[in-house]
Amino acid sequence: MIRVLFICLGNICRSPMAHAVFRDMVEKRGLTDQILVESAGIGNWHVGEPPHRGTRSILDENGISYAGIHSRQVTRDELPNFDYVVAMDSENMKAIKRLGLAPSNRVFRLLDIVPQSVEKDVPDPYYDGRFDVVYDLVQKGCAKLLRRIEMDLARSEQS
Ligand code: 4NP
């Protein structure tokens, strides 16, 4: 089982969007038994809340379920349990580092794995409401991440 944790600041806009989009991709590839997807926030302001209205709206438009996704705060203890810890921006990366995880090939920003993307931080839509921009970036990053994990899975099946 490969375990993936998406992290943003509040866990109501960007990381729950990545959680839902990636979970949907994993389901469509028939990999639900092999890839576990979660998300969490650095802060605790929205703990227990469903995704932000803007995130829900764009997911609804695209037919992607966010069932069961509620904001929660990341804990230091859980981080070693994940094979991939995927941050939305540089600030999140700094916070993850403070929690004890250094950047590596398993701890990175979502857009670090999208070579075509000049923008490396997924911008926070909480203040500017640009959920459509976030959705496009999240789609691109998640598609790359899935390809990378599929290669990991193929490699581990060979060995
Ligand atoms: P997110 O956006 O990190 O993408 O979930 C935010 C949500 C809430 C806050 C900031 C960013 N906040 O300050 O409450």
CA distance 28 to 31: 8
Q: 124 an active-site residue? A: yes
What is the DSSP code string of 17-79?
Answer: HHHHHHHHHHHHTT-TTTEEEEEEESS-TTTTPPPPHHHHHHHHHTT---TT----B--GGGG
- Looking at residue 156, what is its pLDDT? 87
- Looking at residue 158, what is its pLDDT? 84
Catalytic residue among 13, 56, 124, 142: 124
Band (2; pLDDT cuts 50, 70, 90): very high
pTM check: above 0.75: yes
Check pLDDT > 90 for residue 157. no
What are the structural domains of the chain? 2-158 (3.40.50.2300)
pLDDT more than 90, % of the chain: 96
- Looking at residue 63, what is its pLDDT? 98
Q: For ligand 1, say whether the CB of 42 is within 6 Å of any of its atoms.
A: no
Give the HSE-up count for residue 120: Cα atoms under 13 Å, Cβ half-sphere: 9
Q: 76 an active-site residue? A: no
CA distance 32 to 37: 9
- Looking at residue 125, what is its pLDDT? 97
Residue 120, classed as helix, strand or coil, is coil
Q: For ligand 1, say whether the CB of 24 is within 6 Å of any of its atoms.
A: no
Q: For ligand 1, say whether the CB of 124 is within 6 Å of any of its atoms.
A: yes
pLDDT tens track for 28-66 = 999 999 999 999 999 999 999 999 999 999 999 999 999
